[in-house]
Structure 1
Amino acid sequence: MKDAHGYQLTGCNGQAQVLLDQALAQFRCLRTDSLASTEAALEASPELVMGHILHAWLYLLGTEAAAIPVAQASLEQAQALPQNDREARHIQALQLLIAGRWHASGRTLEDLSLDYPHDLLSLQAGHQLDFFTGDARMLRDRIARALPDWSAAVPGYHAVLGMYAFGLEETGDYRHGERIGREAVSLQPDDAWAQHAVAHVLEMQGRREEGIAWMRGNPAWQQDSMLAVHNWWHLALHYLEQDDFDTVLALFDGPIDGHKGTLALELIDASSMLWRLQLRGVDVGNRWAGVAERWAAMAEDGRYAFNDFHAAMAFACSGREELLGQLREAQQRAGQRDDDNARFTQLIGRPMVEAAVAFAEGRYGRCVDLLRSVRSQAHVFGGSHAQRDLIDQTLIAAARRSDQNSLVRGLQRERELLARQRSVA
């Protein structure tokens, strides 16, 4: 039996096929119900290899250490079953990611996509790994290699366009990225990633009113989406740049953090927004305490340095010294492992954590020294240009508060020229 793209599915029956195709279609739009559909497909056919594979990916792409045992169990079930070549290569990529080999996992998916260009799961998982490892070029080129094999007649075309749009944006091709992203959303309005790609373009070009209109004008991304919090965060950024702090705080207390999310990807947005507000002198009240409490479960993970940095902000700003201690110990252990996060942590993660702590404690000169040493390599530990802009914002604020006025002037000039270049790109 074959999937919607004509690829053979091992251990599949008719009911499982329908449910798996449904789960994959939901995942293309980053809908929260993709997990339930995947589990239903496995109930219909426990021998469905791609069902176990998708289940593992859905857990692993959250970047949390707590998800690894669940993903490992799914992987083991897939390994115990007969597999075809495509399925076996997915299994290999999953094994590598569980072992902390983020880059090797992405490379395995890269080669898989070359041979199976309509395998959207491999394209999506690989695209996410490029994002987590800060590889802007591969965010674009992984998709560019497959795009000529796609057309509007192929199910999921919108998702390929949406991923390509984000890759174009992250490599500075804003005009092309915006056009492709808008086309993707016109094909599938609830494609949250495509919506997000255009949001990035508008953010990077400082198009505030257009950005607000874009996010407010399409309610489809707001419902049942794994990316909803992040897209609300993008909307809040526009209001932040307009100094409309009341609206930003209302968005924070509502769709960004009002549900008290516990997912790392959502807590990153919460930490980032509170930190940006504080940089602008806004009193955020006791909001840090709740965010820190929800980060606490991941303090000892040492799984992904980008998460550690954002957790450290919350711990430092809420005075949770014991959690900072746990995080530092976890980073020490992570730095000694033989995996990719060891490099993420050693090069960027540990200095960034200490810079955040130094800033929170008022040691602004120390913060400047730490940030200047790592900011040009910060892409190594992942995230987007918009997310990592927090580093430059913090550096400018720390330089100003430590009376390094020449550095402040230089950094502001650099920033203003870049903004002008982006506005016409």
Structure 2
Amino acid sequence: MVRLDSRGLPLSATSDLAAERYREGVDLLLSAWPGADVAFDAAIAADPDFALAHAARARLHAIRVEMPAAHARIATAAEIVARHGTERERSHVDILSLTIHGQSTQALQRAVAHADAWPRDAVILGLPLGAFGLFAFSGMADHDQARVDLCERHARHFDAEDWWFLNYRGWSHAENGAVAHGRDLTQRSHELRRTNANAVHALSHAMFEDGSGEDADRLISGWLPEYDRRGTLHGHIAWHASLAALEQGDTARALAVYEAHVQPSVSAGLPLNVVTDTVSFLWRMRAYGREVPAGLWEAAAAYAAPLYTKAGFPFADIHMAMLDAATGDAAAVERRAAALTALVEAGTLAAGPVVPAICRAALAFAEADFAGCVRLLEPLAAEAVRIGGSGAQREIVQDTLLVALMRSGQAGKARDLLDRRLHRRPSPRDAAWRAQLAA
């Protein structure tokens, strides 16, 4: 008897219960919903030689940065699949192993090739997608387009109502500039599976990109109470609500959301999200001329202190530099920037010189050297896409440049930058800045 996964691919499971629990776990994994660990553990208990269940459990450990457990579990999956796995399952496990062991360039190449052979293998097709996917952190300048191309190449293989594929196809289009189309697709995904944090996340991004801050706030405030605080995206989705409040000029609400859901003491999110969300929110507050309450920077610094101590992860590097700059540790910023520059010169930092430039520009901004910030950042600002993440996350770089232009008396350049931004995404905050420049 051939047992199948949720999208019709054969499984080398010897138990109906194991296959059922695996399908359940994958759907929970793909929707960032609590309970996947329980489902995968049940699949393994029902069939200890079910390699894909071990591999999925390893993937979940890695997402939670439980690396010793991830390494042990993927090793078990590799040993089992070598004995009695199909070609597809062996490739699936190999790619997850590359990803878990940090061999991202090879993992990306293999995942794209795997998708050409088995496009409906959602766990593998999903690896290059998303704000923290293999494309985003590849250092590519065109990773937004690459995600669209990958989705469109395989769209014919998915049902029109496949909630998972609709979501990532829509997210990819929204990030790449086709915001209305992307929002429609993610909205449909959300309607098909409400218990899907990834759909609410993607829809929040689409609403950010089209300037619908009030829509995003209503969406999140109405849905977030349904999502367990243990969910990996709980704090990050709340971060989107805090940004929406800042967009509308409601600083009190933005802070209330931050303190209730985003700050390190209350968030159960992934360390990368907790660090980058806290730093980027507090940095925006400062850049927008809002007062940051006492203790918030210090709490963020205490949480981040043991993390990302080694330079070389661009998305984390720029946020750690902003944190050090904001808390007055200029030496730490320079150490990180120097290490990054050495990696650039050695040809081992795919994102290139924009990364140390952003770090040093953040320090100049924090020290009120706004002209110096502009000199560092302006020539390379267009390359910020290489650090990865989403448009909403990378906007912090452009906001830093914009405010530095305004505060250094370069109103003409600030207006030009606003013109380009307003053409893409109308924003109440940008409109207020325009009015300020016109005064």
* TM-score band, normalised by shorter chain: 0.7 to 0.9
Describe the shift of the 1:245–1:320 C-alpha distance in structure 2 as closer, same or farther (beyond 3 A): same
1:167 partnered with 2:179 = no
Is the Cα contact below 8 Å between 1:299 and 1:324 reproduced in 2? Answer: no
- The one-letter code sitting in structure 1 at the alignment partner of 2:235 is V
Q: 1:412 to 1:111 in 2, by over 3 A?
A: same
Q: CA deviation at 1:151?
A: 1.9
1:193-272 aligned within 5 A: 193-219=198-224, 222-223=227-228, 224-257=230-263, 258-261=265-268, 263-272=271-280
Query: Given residue 314 of structure 1, which amino acid in structure 2 is its aligned partner?
Result: L
Q: Which amino acid in the other structure matches residue 73 of structure 2?
A: S
For 1:73, the equivalent position in structure 2 comes to: 72
Q: Deviations over 1:256-296 (max 9, x none)?
A: 12515561122211111111111111111220111111111
Give the whole-Å Cα distance in 2 for the aligned partners of 1:337 and 1:229: 37
Alpha-carbon displacement from aligned partner over 1:116-161 (angstroms, at most 9, x marks no partner): 22211112222132333461123223222332222267xxx10110
2:194: which partner in 1? 189
Q: Which residue of 1 aligns with 2:148?
A: 140
TM-score (norm 2): 0.85
Query: Which residue number corresponds to residue 92 of structure 1?
Result: 94
The alpha-carbon distance between structure 1 residues 138 and 120, as it changes in their structure 2 partners (threshold 3 A), is same
Q: Residue in 1 aligned with 2:381?
A: 375
User: 1:14 and 1:161 mapped to 2: Cα distance?
Assistant: 28
Contact kept in structure 2, 1:396 and 1:411, CA below 8 Å: yes
How far does residue 178 in structure 1 lie from its aligned partner after superposition? Answer: 1.5
Residue 294 of structure 1 pairs with residue 303 of structure 2: yes
Match of 1:313 in 2: 322
Gaps of 5+ in 2: 428-439
- Once the two structures are TM-superposed, the CA of residue 321 in structure 1 deviates from its matched residue by 5.5
Q: 1:268 to 1:18 in 2, by over 3 A?
A: same
Do the aligned residues in 2 keep the contact of 1:300 with 1:330 (CA within 8 Å)? no
Q: 1:418 to 1:351 in 2, by over 3 A?
A: same
40, 49, 52: which one pairs with 1:50?
52
Matches within 5 A, 1:25-40: 25-40=27-42
Q: CA deviation at 1:249?
A: 0.4
Indicate whether 1:131 and 2:136 are aligned.
yes
Q: CA deviation at 1:113?
A: 1.8
Report the counterpart of residue 151 of structure 1 in structure 2: 159
> Aligned partner of 1:149: which letter?
H
**Cα–Cα, structure 1 residues 226 and 334, in superposed 2: closer, same or farther, change >3 Å?**
farther
CA-CA distance at 1:329 after TM superposition? 7.0
2:432 maps to: none
Cα gap change, 1:301 to 1:260, in 2 (>3 Å) = farther
Corresponding position of 1:280: 288
CA pair 227-336 structure 1, distance change in 2 beyond 3 A: farther
Please show how residues 394-409 of structure 1 align to structure 2 within 5 Å: 394-409=400-415
Equivalent pairs, count: 412
Counterpart AA for 2:150? R
Local SS of the residue matching 2:266:
coil
Shift of 1:105: 1.6
Q: Distance in 2 between matches of 1:220 and 1:20?
A: 27
Is the contact between residue 164 and residue 177 of structure 1 (CA under 8 Å) also seen in structure 2? yes
Match of 2:431 in 1: none
Q: 1:33 to 1:355 in 2, by over 3 A?
A: farther
Distance 1:325 1:298, change over 3 A: farther
Secondary structure of 1:19's aligned partner: helix
Percentage of matched positions with identical amino acids: 24
CA distance 1:60–1:303, shift in 2 (3 Å): farther
Partner SS, residue 189 of structure 1: coil
Instruction: Give the gaps of 5 or more residues in structure 1.
Output: none
Tell me how far apart the structure 1 counterparts of residues 71 and 115 of structure 2 sit (CA, whole Å). 23
- Show CA shifts across 1:33-60 (max 9, x none): 3234334433443322112322333344
Identify the residue that residue 110 of structure 1 maps to in structure 2: 112
TM-score, normalised to structure 1's length?
0.87
Tell me the C-alpha RMSD between the 2 structures. 2.7
Q: Quick check: 2:337–2:360 contact (8 Å CA) kept in 1?
A: no
- Provide closer, same or farther for how the CA distance between residues 122 and 181 of structure 1 changes in structure 2, counting only shifts above 3 A: same
Q: How big is the shift at 1:17?
A: 2.1
